[in-house]
Amino acid sequence: MRIPIGKRWDVLMEVYRRKEEGEKKIRLFVETLLDKMEEAEISEFCKVVSAELSTTRSIPTMRAVLRTVPEKYWLKYSEVARLRVEAKLIEDIRDGRYMSSQRKLLSGVFGTWAVGYLREFILRDRLAAVLLAKLRSSDRTQQDYVFEYFAFRLHAVEPEPSEAMIEVLIAGLGAGDVRFYNGLTFLTWPKPPGAWAVALRGAYNLFVEAAASDQGITDDDVPF
């Protein structure tokens, strides 16, 4: 459908207002329209989004925005808007739990939307602290939430890994926990993140997988 140039803004706003309907074609439509609009119109649209994110307390609304508007416009939102969303994402990540034996996300659904925005996070230090606490947890589902959704992007959260993070990861590798090994596959890239490679490559290359019982895996963890 060809939309007259003078009607694009009105159509964009009408489609955007329907974002919580959850249809994938809404994102495609919004992305297509934004790609055809002038920079001034895009900036005005991002102001509208920012205003909504700066005032809403609704997780469904925030999720609908993240689902509908492409990630490349994130930095065009106001800092207040971004901080509010980031804080809510981190709060949900803190509660996130994943049962790997059943491949089931128990909680923290909204928090998984953070993955596409990690490099631009203002609150990266807070996020890193939450992920570290989950990796240190004695609750396997807390750890597995990190392994399932964030381990492969830890270098985006912490370009320079903290000593505490390195300590936890080396301990996991040294214990033969395959989850740590699989979660750090970015170390095998032709050009792995430099600081991470320096700190972890030795322990990664020396990894020897422990027996399942030594990794805390019980019959309840086996999905058959």
Neighbours of 103 (CB within 10 A): 9
Q: Which residues partner with 99 through β-bridges?
A: 104
What are the tokens at 72? 């490349």
Cβ(110)–Cβ(150) under 8 Å?
no
Contacts by residues 24-27 (CB-CB < 8 Å, ≥ 24 positions apart): 26/68, 27/67, 27/68, 27/69, 27/70
What per-residue string of b and e applies to 109-135 under the rule 16 or more CB within 10 Å gives b? ebbbbbeebbeebebbeebbbbbbebb
Distance CA 146, CA 97 (A): 8
Distance CA 75, CA 120 (A): 7
Bridge-based pairing state of the strands 97-99 and 104-107: antiparallel
- pTM to 2 decimals? 0.91
pLDDT (tens, 9 = 90+) of the chain, 224 residues, equals: 577 777 899 999 999 999 998 777 899 999 999 999 999 999 999 999 999 999 999 999 999 999 999 999 999 999 999 999 999 999 999 999 999 999 999 999 999 999 999 999 999 999 999 999 999 999 999 999 999 999 999 999 999 999 999 999 999 999 999 999 999 999 999 999 999 999 999 999 999 999 876 666 654 554 43
